[in-house]
Structures are given as C-alpha cells and as structure tokens.
Structure 1
Amino acid sequence: MNLEYIESFIAVAKFQSLNFASEQLNISTPALSKRINHIENYFNCKLFERTRKGVFLTSKGEVVLEKLTKIQLELTELKNYTASQGSSVLRLGVLPSFAIRYQQLLENNEITKHLTVLVESNTQSLKEKLHDGFIDAFIGDISFLTEEPLFHKSLYQEKYVVMYSDKKQLTGSPSITIEALQSENLLLLNPPCDTATFIQNQLPHQHKNINFKNDFESLIASVKNSKNITVFPESLKMRTTHMNLFYKTLSNYARNIGIASYNQDTVEKLTKILNI
C-alpha cells in the first residue's frame, strides 16, 4: 500500500471529515475519497461509515487504524534514524518567531558547527518536514502535540499580542480577554498558521468576523489602514514597532515553545547545544 494512503487514512479517521482532512493534506477531496476507497478495497471491507455529520470508523476500521498508526510511526522513526546516521550535524526546523528571538544564537559559530537551520512559517509545516525526514527536530508550538507520538521538551512560554491602529482604539487596561475579541473584526494569516489555529479553537464556532491574509507584511498594512485588529506571538512585535501601532497583551493565554523529535536523544542533544 502507498505510504501516502496510510497518512490519508489516519487523517480522515482523526478529523472525521473528508473536506477538512483534504485541506490538511493539501489534496482535493475527490482525490482523498479515491484513496479511502482504494484502502477499503485493499482490505476488502468497509472501514468508514459516511453520514451527514461526518465519516466515522467502523469496528474493522478501528483495528486498521491501530495497526496503520504503528506502521507509520515505525517507518518514520526508521527514516529519521537512517537519515541522521553518518552526520554529526543536526537539521533543525524553527518558527520565524524563534529565529528572530534567538537570531544571534543561531548565527553563533559554535552553534552552526552542530546545526543547520530551516525556518518554516508554522508548526504544522515543521511537523510535516520532520515526518518526511527533511529535519531531525523542530522548535515550535508543542501545545499542538498532545496527540502526537513525539518526544518533546518545553523551552519557554510566549504571550500573544493584540495589535490595532489609531482608527480602532481599544480603551481600558493594557491587556484584553479572548472573550472581548468575539465582537471584533479579526485579520489573521492564512491557515495553516499557529495563531489562526489557536484563535479559532478559542472563539465560538459562530464567530464569523475573521478574514485572512497571505503574508505578515500585508496583514500589518491592512490593520494599520483599517479598524481591524490582529493577534500574533509577542516576539513578532519587533517587526512592527516602527509603524506607530498600538498593542495589548492577550490575557491568560501563552503558547508553549519547545523542541520536538522522534528521537529522545536528539531532543537532549539539542537542549545542550542551544543551552536555552
């Protein structure tokens, strides 16, 4: 069976939706549906029940999911192990916010002897690069890894910042609650984006006042010239301080930035190298 089909099966089982799973896998829904049909033909049984509320595993589907998940994990670990042999240099993927916050550290000659660094825009992309064997570990938002079979270690907590222009004054305290955002027009970066995922998970499903931009620069420019507001990690604030904008801290929320890898020794080795 094609390994991509295994990933597709696991994604549909996880999200219980062909449409949402296809978005996460970056393939069309009809193509994903064909993959699922192929897998069911392979096992010669029905693995999913299709309903108006979603797609759900049958009893045989539950058994197949358990086995395929183990196979996927073992193959990924094997791929990462073989890729890392013969080289003392670790391949590390990081978020832009980490690269900004620790720029001098990542450019330190003693550090670069041991690391090559790849910057990706979000944790989902980093997870995919790790899964595909392009990196040995990543530094991202490990708050999302509750269901992932990864070894991980927390490095620091990072607050979120709410930014707005003089066209949209938010009076009151220097912080704002997530509940207060429900009545605001929000601009966020296109998914997959860590902040977009976080905000959409926290706000009620009926909240419709969210629009998206393709890149950080156009996002900031749109906020500056409108009554929209945006949310982003605190470390990205330094990219906007010259634009005469206003900021509040998002109350009671922070993301957990940490190292993640399929290899526990790699996590420990990176911790020593970075010494954060």
Structure 2
Amino acid sequence: MTFEQLRYIVAIEKFGTLKDASEELHVTLSALSQGLNKVETELGITLFQRNRRGSTITKEGRIIVAQAKKILYALDDLYESADVMQNKLTGVLKVASIPGPFFQLFTTAQQLKNIYPEINIQIREQNSQTMLEELQSEKVDLALVVYNNEDLAKYPDLAFTKIKDCEMLVVAHKDSPVIQGGSAMTEELGEQPVILFDDKIVIGTMNEIKRVFGRNDIVISVNNPHIVQQYVEENKAYTVGLDLTFDHSQRFMQDMESVKIDFLTEIPTTHSFGIVTKSSRHETQLMKEFAYRLKKDFQEQIPELVNLT
C-alpha cells in the first residue's frame, strides 16, 4: 500500500464519486479504480459500495479512511517541520477578519512573510457571521471574529480562543446632536440618520435601539467600513459599532464623540473577540505558526488570553 493509494481513498470519500476524485487528483479514472481495488484487496475489506450515483462509503471504510487521513496528516507535518527548520515553509493560508484588528493582522502576516518568503497569506475583511459559516465549510482557515454565547452554542465544531471583551459604542461627529455632554441623547437615536457596518451583532443592537427609542426610518447598512467612516466624518449620520472597530482609527476619532451603549438592558452590549478555527480541521504548520504569532502579538497588548476550547 502506498501513500498515493491512501490519497485516492481519502479523495473518493470527500468527493463521493471516482470520476470527481480522479479529476481533483489529476489521475485517470482507471488508475484511481485500480488503486482502490489494491487497497481493498490488501486489507480484505470493501471500503466503498459502487453504484450508478457514485461511491458510498461503508462502515468499515469510514474507519479506514479516518486512519488514512491521520497518516497523510502526519506525513505532511513531517515535511513541513523540515521546512520550518530550514526557513522553507510554504503553503497558502486564508485568513478573514472584522475591520478593527485588520492592522494587527496585516502586521503579523508581514512579519511571518519576511521569515518564510514562499508562503501566501490571503487576508480579507468580512462580517463575523459570514466568517463563522466559511470556517465551517473550510473556505477560511482562520478568522478574527466577534462572537457571543449564541454563536458558541450554534457552532460547536468551531474552536473559539477569546482574546478580549469588546463593548458596543455609539459614535457620532462632535457637531451631531446624538452625543452631548458625554452622553447619548436617546431621543435623537430614533430621529437622526444612522449608517452601520453589516454585521449580525451590530444590526441586532440597532434593532434594539429602534425598539426601545422609536423607529428610525433612515438606516443604511453597508459592508464597507470606510463608507461608514466617511458618512460619520461628514456628519451625515451616526453609527453603532464595537470599540475595537475604532481602535486603529485615531485620525477618524479626533473629530468624533463616542459613548458606551449602557442604556440597553434586554440584550448584551459586551461581546467576545478572538481567534476561531475549525476543531476537526488538520492544522498545517503554517496555520500553527501564524496562530501562535497572532496570539503572541495580541498578548503584548492584552495581558490575559483566555482559551475557551
């Protein structure tokens, strides 16, 4: 039995048909079928039941494929460990983040890239809900997310590593009537236009403000944080967002007023921020190295790092 044959059975389990598996592996259908037959003959076990609709894995096949994955992961780790020792680490890492900590994320990625020039770290901004869903489907390897207890219950297969608590704020231009004397003018919250970053927690907070203080008919929701800042800078609207969203926006905040949302009692206004990965996904050396450095960089800013896994 060869490592290549183990890759064959893992691919068949993943894609469900020999045809799709052969295309993914760039081997002929005949070679894949022969490789599967050799594994089954050597083990004396039927791994897949073949039919017109595809290949259905057997109970015994699930056990064997799970062991094959462990062997292949260990082989990958062996090669990657050797690469790390020689500063030759390679690979692609897909990372997503909410807007606030994007600066620290980029800094950590650049430092790692300086050590391992051959790596490819792809970074994009997204809202937390999209990132959690894409972590599950493995479209994203690692994400910096704001989450709450509802998310912990909804995504039991994800590993949440808490970095810090974050607070919801109302942010408005200093000339806006929304914030005066260091307090939010609650009667103005339902009257003045508001622009929001399209995030589940942010939208939920605004919905509660509307329920408590009256309907606001001018609510703009966008997925570009720079548009949010532009509208608030021009005093066209106020915004609601997490404090860490504005941590690296000192220039923007110079002409702004902000207050914590401590006037809502029916929903939480303190949430968790942290690193999230998929529990069952094999961590490559690149994932491990990047997550370690990212945690370390945040620890230098925040003394306590709490693991929820």
- Please indicate the TM-score interval, normalised by the length of the shorter structure: 0.5 to 0.7
**Paired amino acid for 2:293:** I
Offset at residue 102 of structure 1 (A): 4.2
Distance 2:219 2:166 in 1: 24
Match of 2:129 in 1: 124
- Alignment counterpart, residue 163 of structure 1, candidates 162, 165, 171: 171
Work out the percentage of aligned pairs sharing the same amino acid: 13
Alignment match, 2:211: 204
Q: TM-score, normalised by structure 1?
A: 0.54
Using the alignment, how far apart are the partners of 1:112 and 1:161 within structure 2?
A: 38
Question: 2:233, 2:252 within 8 Å by CA — same for their partners in 1?
Answer: no
Match of 2:192 in 1: 185
Q: Is the 8 A contact 1:168 1:228 kept in 2?
A: no
Deviation at 1:151, TM superposition (A): 2.0
Q: Report the residue type matching 1:154 in the other structure.
A: K
Whether the aligned pair in 1 keeps the contact of 2:190 and 2:215 (CA below 8 Å) is: no
Provide TM-score, normalisation by structure 2.
0.50
* Matching residue's letter, 1:272: Y
Superposed, which structure 2 residues align to 1:84-123 within 5 Å? Answer: 85=73, 86=76, 90-109=93-112, 113=116, 116-123=121-128
CA RMSD after TM alignment: 4.0
For 2:178 and 2:210, the matched residues in 1 are separated by 21
C-alpha spacing 1:240/1:255, structure 2 compared with 1 (3 Å): same
- Give the Cα separation in 2 of the matches to 1:170 and 1:111: 45
Given candidates 240, 243, 253, the residue that maps to 1:231 is 240
Alpha-carbon distance change, 186 to 111 in structure 1, aligned in 2, over 3 angstroms: farther
Q: Aligned equivalents of 1:251 and 1:111: distance in 2?
A: 41
1:4 maps to which residue? Answer: none
Q: Which amino acid aligns with 1:99?
A: F
| 1:161–1:231 Cα contact (<8 Å) kept | yes
Q: Is 2:202 the partner of 1:195?
A: yes
Structure 2 residue aligned with 1:273: 293
Aligned mates of 1:171, 1:240 — CA distance in 2? 20
Distance in 1, matches of 2:120 and 2:168, equals 28
Q: In the superposition, relative to structure 1, how do residues 117 and 207 fare at CA in structure 2: closer, same or farther (>3 Å)?
A: farther
Unaligned runs of 5+ in 2: 1-61, 81-90, 263-268, 300-309
Give the 3-state SS of the residue equivalent to 1:133 in structure 2.
Answer: coil
Secondary structure of the equivalent of 1:204?
helix
Residue 258 of structure 2, aligned match among 243, 248, 251: 248
